[in-house]
Structure 1
Amino acid sequence: MKKIAVMTTGGDCPGLNAGIRAVVRSAIHHGLEVTGILRGYEGMIQNQFIPLPSHAVSNIIQRGGTILKTARSEQFMTVEGRAKAYENLRTNGVDGLILLGGDGSIRGIQQFLQEHDLPVVAVPKTIDNDIYGTDYAIGYDTALNTVVQAIDKIRDTADSHDRIFFVEVMGRDAGMIAVLSGIGSGAEAIAIPETRTRIEQIVQVLQRGWHRKKTSMIVIVAEGDDAGGAYKIADAVRQRFDSFDTRVSVLGHMQRGGSPTCFDRVLASRLGVAAVDALVQGRRDIMVGVIDNKIAETPFETVVARRKEFPYDLMRVAEILSL
């Protein structure tokens, strides 16, 4: 192995640049040449390859987003598109690939590897933290801190006006951001996709807070909750409980941006080095993650076939502390 490629795929998140930096510096340490692929799978098909010497990744560890950009690729979903991508990889002399992506990206590369032969190692990144095979994915910790800081500010204005705020956070299929940020911000109620949301139960919690003379209350809603988004749930609650003025705040894509926390920088650095080590030592078709604070390797087929266990015990913690 003389030359490897690195790319970022799927949605962006804080910590990707730290991961790119770790891959480049670690590869150079092993005497490898590194090329970057711009805009993920689409760039692979469009032959958007750029050299990545050591200085190209200087002063990026603190930056959000990704210097390699990312994009969706409908072409990569076709046999012809994947064949073109492979042709470009071979033309550019790529002997191995490291991708920083989520479960959708890993599904894509797994399909690619059924048709073409190339050593690949994946590094998990998603603010939802729902990828099997790792305790933490790059971007999750920063997103949590962004959400908690935003809720703290919302709590200030809620308290000033005796208001209930329904705060919608990202989580189309997973409620990890909602649960952890709910506990961290002292939310009165949390609505997530993993459990059935009962409007009457939320109303009871808010009424209990009203009788205990609370001057503000926060309800965290994951965007994929079964009862609907924050606006729909707020309307349903308002019809049953109008003692407080209610407002809705959708945090949206601000959760994906910002400078990564120290935790995400260190996590991305560890995983980037581990990914290069795995390629150099001949391991392939795996994702490197962290389990019990140790590097763990999980085959692609296991990552895409299994669902990460949701920590339901944290919902109990949130319910107890919402009194």
Structure 2
Amino acid sequence: MKKIAVLTSGGDAPGMNAAVRAVVRKAIYEGLEVAGVYNGYQGLIEGKIERLELGSVGDIIQRGGTMLRSARSAEFRTPEGQKKAMQQLKNNGIDGLVVIGGDGSFRGALELTKLGCPCVCVPATIDNDINGTEFTIGFDTALNTVIDAIDKIRDTATSHERTFIIEVMGRDAGDLALWAGLAGGAETILIPEEKIEIPTIIDRLVSGTDRGKKHSIIIVAEGVMTAAELAEIINKEAGIETRISVLGHIQRGGSPSARDRVIASQYGAKAVEVLKEGKSGVAIGMKNYDVIEYNLKDVFEQSDELDMKMYKLSKELSI
């Protein structure tokens, strides 16, 4: 192993830059040459590969997004596209690849390992939905962004005595909605992992109003339904007027939290160590606060499981 490359793929997440920095500097520390692949797998296909030095990743640990940029690539999903990507790796003398991203990025790396390129994956997604690791890069920062929004919205909800519905990201996973809802004191949290029960939601709203509650906060993950759809249902079924707030891509941006910077640094450095040891098809993650490595195939064997004890607790505390 003499030369490795690093790319970021899929949706950006705060802390990706910290992970790129760790990969580059750890690789150089270990005596390896390192290259950056720009624009994800599409950039790999197009040969957008440049050598990175220590200074290339200076002053990026505090920046959100990814300096290597990211892009979706329909072409890479085809066998022809994967072969083109593999040829670019060979043309540039790259012996191993670190892929920073989410589920789709991991799948791409798995295909490259089948073609003979040693790959190690670093989980970075605000959804925190990668099986095998307790935390992904970007989750903590996005969580704090959502909590900050909840706190601000609660102020105006109290002032106007209204029910607010806040829509957060989470197409297939409810981690962001659950953690933010519990930390923000939401009265109701709707997540993809649990069947929605409209009568229960309405009962909680009515019960709160009857005991003199002046406002309510409902958190809904986008994978359940939109905030607008839920507002229409509540108004139709209970005659309760609500206000909605869709946080959208504000959740992806911003300077990464200290926690995200630390785990990104740990994951990135570990990825280089694993590659240098000659391993391939490996994912990096965290379990019981220890940085671990595990088989990349395990990521797809089952879905990431939500902490349902936490969900139960959120319901108990929001009576």
- Tell me, yes or no, whether TM beats 0.5: yes
1:163 aligns with 2:159: no
Match of 1:154 in 2: 153
Give the match for residue 236 of structure 2. Answer: 239
Structure 2 counterpart of 1:231, which letter?
A
- 1:299 aligns to what? 295
1:254-303 deviations in Å (ceiling 9; x for gaps)? 10000000000000000001000111112211001110111211211111
Deviation at 1:112, TM superposition (A): 2.6
Structure 1 distance, partners of 2:229, 2:270, is 44
Give me the whole-angstrom Cα distance separating, in 2, the residues matched to 1:271 and 1:307.
21
Indicate conservation of the 8 Å contact 1:133/1:297, yes or no.
no
Deviation at 1:109, TM superposition (A): 1.8
Alignment check: 8 A CA contact 2:110 2:119 kept:
no
CA RMSD after TM alignment: 1.0
Using the size of structure 2 for normalisation, the TM-score is 0.98
Structure 2 counterpart of 1:286, one-letter code = V
User: SS of the counterpart of 2:263?
Assistant: helix
Q: What residue in structure 2 maps to residue 4 of structure 1?
A: 4
Report if the CA contact (8 A) 1:106-1:304 is conserved: no
Q: Which residue of 2 aligns with 1:100?
A: 100
The Cα of 1:241 is off from its aligned counterpart by: 2.8
TM alignment of 1:119-158, pairs within 5 A: 119-158=118-157
Gaps of 5+ in 1: none
1:23–1:272 contact (8 Å) kept in structure 2: yes
Preserved contact between residue 37 and residue 48 of structure 1 (Cα < 8 Å): yes
Structure-2 residue corresponding to 1:208? 207
User: What is the SS of the residue equivalent to 2:192?
Assistant: coil
C-alpha distance in 2, partners of 1:186/1:279?
43
CA distance in 2, matches of 1:224, 1:118: 35
The match for 1:48 is: 48
CA drift of 1:73 comes to 0.5
User: TM-score by structure 1 length?
Assistant: 0.97
Runs of 4+ in 1 over 3 A off after TM superposition: none
Which residues of 2 match residues 1-323 of structure 1 at below 5 A?
1-114=1-114, 116-225=115-224, 228-242=225-239, 245-323=241-319
The separation in 1 between residues aligned to 2:254 and 2:213, in whole angstroms, is 33
Distance in 1, Cα, partners of 2:84 & 2:236: 56
Alpha carbons 1:120, 1:286 under 8 Å: kept: yes
CA–CA separation in structure 1 for the residues paired with 2:86 and 2:157: 54
Q: CA deviation at 1:207?
A: 1.0
Which ranges of structure 2 fall in alignment gaps of 5 or more residues? Answer: none
